[in-house]
C-alpha cells in the first residue's frame, strides 16, 4: 500500500514536470531540429550497441519511438535553457551585490 502511494506520488510529480517543461518549451520556442534528432539517434544507437544507420532506419519506421525521442530531446533542451538562464540570473545578482 505504501509502495503504491509512493509510485502514485512520483507519477503525479512526473506529469507536472512534463506539463511544465512542455509549457516552457512552447513559450520560449524551444525546438527540436533534424540535427538534434540525428545526433540523439546516433547516441542511442551507440548505447544499444547498434549500427547507427540501422537504428535511424528503425526509428523512422516507428513513429512512437521517434516521437518519444523527440520529446526527450525537447525536455533536455528546455532544462538546458532553464539552467542557462538561472546561471545568468545568479551572475547578474552577484554583480549587483559587488557594486
C-alpha cell of residue 95: 554583480
Give the predicted TM-score (pTM) of the model.
0.75
| Helix, strand, coil % over all residues of the chain, rounded to 5 | 85, 0, 15
pLDDT at 73 over 70: yes
Return the pLDDT at 41.
94
Among the listed residues 91, 89, 95, 77, the one whose alpha carbon sits nearest the alpha carbon of residue 26: 77
> Please, what is the average pLDDT of the chain?
90
Return the pLDDT at 1.
83
Confidence tier at 93 by pLDDT (50, 70, 90): low
pLDDT at 70 over 90: yes
DSSP string, 50-78: --HHHHHHHHHH-HHHHHHHHHHHHHHHH
Residue 24 CB neighbour total at 10 angstroms: 15
CA distances to 46, 51, 55, 60, 99 from 77, rounded to whole Å, are: 21, 25, 22, 22, 33
Return the pLDDT at 88.
73
56 in Cβ contact with 45 (< 8 Å): yes
Amino acid at each position: 500500500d505504501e509502495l503504491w502511494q509512493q509510485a502514485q506520488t512520483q507519477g503525479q510529480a512526473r506529469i507536472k514536470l512534463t506539463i511544465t517543461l512542455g509549457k516552457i518549451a512552447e513559450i520560449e520556442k524551444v525546438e527540436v531540429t533534424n540535427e538534434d534528432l540525428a545526433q540523439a539517434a546516433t547516441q542511442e544507437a551507440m548505447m544499444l550497441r547498434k549500427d547507427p544507420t540501422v537504428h535511424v532506419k528503425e526509428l523512422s519506421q516507428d513513429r512512437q519511438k521517434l516521437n518519444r525521442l523527440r520529446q526527450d530531446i525537447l525536455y533536455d533542451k528546455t532544462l538546458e535553457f532553464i539552467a542557462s538562464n538561472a546561471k545568468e540570473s545568479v551572475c547578474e545578482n552577484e554583480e549587483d551585490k559587488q557594486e
